[in-house]
Amino acid sequence: MIKPHGSDKLNPPYPMDAAVRARLAEEAKRLPAIVISSAAAANAVMMGSGYFNPLTGFMGKRDALAVSEGMRTAGGLFWPVPILNVVADATPIKGQRRIALKDPNVDGNPVIAIQDVEAIEEFSADEMKLMTQKIFRTEDPKHPGVAAFNSVGRFVISGPIQVLNFSYFDKEFPETFRTAWQIRDEMTKLGWNKVVAFQTRNPMHRAHEELCRMAKDAVNADGILIHMLLGKLKAGDIPADVRDASIRKMVELYFPKNTVLITGYGFDMLYAGPREAVLHAVFRQNAGCSHLIVGRDHAGVGSYYGPFDAQTIFHAEVPKGALEIQIFEADHTAWSKKLNKVVMMRDAPDHKPEDYVMLSGTKVREMLGKGEALPVEFARPEVARILSAYYQAEDAKGK
């Protein structure tokens, strides 16, 4: 199986011994504490899960700026986006060397991690502007990632952490949330060595389903990892539990047994397009995947990125040898009326737009909200029924 990024084996800052975690939880009660942002809590979960290997703590200013500028830490580790614990007010922990980090996403704000404080620094307005532009390729405050990144403050707390739990992810999604090492263990049990990963924050329609098959066949993979984001999304995105149910139904009915692993990870979407696509590749390598499907407008939002910018970055900006995982570059996929199957548009140069079954997101939501059936070429009927029930319930709430 492929090696993790930056080391020979995963080294997550999550004590595997429950007794050790219990002792740390007791210690945390006596430590100065601060409620961190949702983004920082998700970063802690990703480090504790092994997805951000070899990182074991939050970056300081020097690393954050170096990563933003050139996708390498000051020490030379390839990394695509800064991993930060930024707060608006660091006064409660000023002068402290060891602190408790409280989870903003769970009632009562329980401690999610303990951090050894190496430094508390403040980003200048110009430094925030530089990082925003480099990470998101825009400073538009309407971009959801830009808005989130610039809303949490400027004081950055750096230093190693010990993660005590996985926030709400393993409790709310016990069948789906998995750490990187748990996924590796599952793949080993299944005898998988070559695995293609599919990233999603949405339900999967026929085109997505067939894209997974195409990629698996093209690289001769042993299996497919459908890896869904379980964290915070922008308004209007479909909730994780609905996505989970629809994807599970599709795999149950339309994929051979033991060819797909359905899992999820605890992270908040950045909507950072190309840079986030590279981050997706890093943590899929840590989960043991040999290939990642990068499709049209991967991790994008609105019209901030070109349709294939997330593929181009791997050729133009990721240094050769920086990652072991390989990218399967996918074009837009849709049902061809001519060929009576799903195709990648680049493989059908003789097709015109009217030769495909394509629906806008607005049209899909409208049809589902009215309980109308989606074309079977666009969505599996069993999946459409799950989505229709969700949209009709949402429409009922709004009336």
Catalytic residues: 201-202
The residues with which 107 forms a beta bridge, in sequence order, are none
Q: In angstroms, rounded to a whole number, what is the distance separating the alpha carbons of residues 190 and 289?
A: 13
φ/ψ of 80, rounded to 5, equals -85, -30
Residue 297, phi-psi category: left (phi > 0), alpha (psi -120 to 50), beta (remainder)? left
DSSP 265-302: E-------THHHHHHHHHHHHHTT-SEEEE-TTTT--T
Give, in degrees to the nearest 5, the angle at Cα 203 between 295 and 144.
Answer: 70
φ/ψ of 209, rounded to 5, equals -60, -50
Q: Quick check: 77 and 67 in contact, CB under 8 A? A: no
Question: For the chain, where are the alpha helices, taking DSSP H only?
Answer: 18-28, 38-48, 61-70, 125-136, 144-149, 169-172, 180-190, 206-219, 240-254, 274-286, 309-316, 361-369, 381-398
Q: In angstroms, rounded to a whole number, what is the distance separating the alpha carbons of residues 38 and 103?
A: 8
Give how far Cα 157 sits from Cα of 60, 123, 129, 193, Å: 7, 11, 19, 39
Q: In angstroms, rounded to a whole number, what is the distance separating the alpha carbons of residues 164 and 84?
A: 18
Tokens of 289: 């995947």
Q: In angstroms, rounded to a whole number, what is the distance separating the alpha carbons of residues 272 and 137?
A: 8
